[in-house]
Amino acid sequence: MTGKDEAELSRLLRAAIAGDERAYADFLHRIAALVRGFVRRKVVQGGVDPEDVVQETLLAIHVKRHTWRMDAPVLPWVFAIARFKLIDAFRRRGRRIEVEIDEIAETFAEPEPETVSERDINRALDGLPPAQRSVVSSISVDGHSIGETASKLGISETAVRVSLHRGLAAIAKRFGQR
């Protein structure tokens, strides 16, 4: 976290808000790395998967990017959101442990209990209406563009954009409400 980082990231986010998609991708990649470092340092015991917190933070940054004041430094804003999501994850985990006591016995009984790649966001994705889910996973997991997704699903690009936007907003909201 240097002054140079701050200046560069502010510039990227300003460009992104002005409509530069490449700047936005660049911004998100760099923020993801920073937030990952932060969360991994904070999560010392198990229970919370740091990568889940990274993803929830990125989603929150995305849906709340209009709360950044363009003349203010961007890193304090980013880390305030990351801290908020981290506390949220701990609180949630604390609550959930009681619920899962029964399931733990089952998990031990399984020959292959490894579910490391199962992210919270996948479960949230599964909860979306089918139209939104297929659009979001086409663009994220399959890596298709808006145009490719539109022709693959046989809907307009506008419809793809709307489904994507609503889908992401719904996932972000679900993380906030638990």
Q: Does 158 bind another protein (CB under 8 A)?
A: no
Q: Does 67 bind another protein (CB under 8 A)?
A: yes
Q: Does 58 bind another protein (CB under 8 A)?
A: yes
b/e per residue, 18-56, with b = 16+ CB within 10 A?
Answer: eeeeebbebbbeebbebbbebbeebbeeeebbbbbbbbb
Q: Does 126 bind another protein (CB under 8 A)?
A: no
Q: Does 29 bind another protein (CB under 8 A)?
A: yes
In angstroms, what CA-CA distances link 167 with 103, 119, 150? 30, 17, 15
Distance CA 149, CA 134 (A): 9
Among 24, 49, 92, 159, binds another protein (CB under 8 A): 24
Among 43, 63, 155, 170, binds another protein (CB under 8 A): 63
Please give the residues from 138 up to 157 whose contact with another protein meets the rule CB under 8 A: 139-141, 143, 145-146
17 phi and psi angles, rounded to 5 deg:
-65, -30
Are the CB atoms for 160 and 150 separated by under 8 Å?
yes
Q: Which residues bind another protein (CB under 8 A)?
A: 16-17, 19, 21, 24-25, 28-29, 32, 36, 51, 54-55, 58-60, 62-69, 72-73, 76-81, 83-84, 119, 121-122, 125, 136-137, 139-141, 143, 145-146, 161, 164-165, 168, 172-173, 176-177
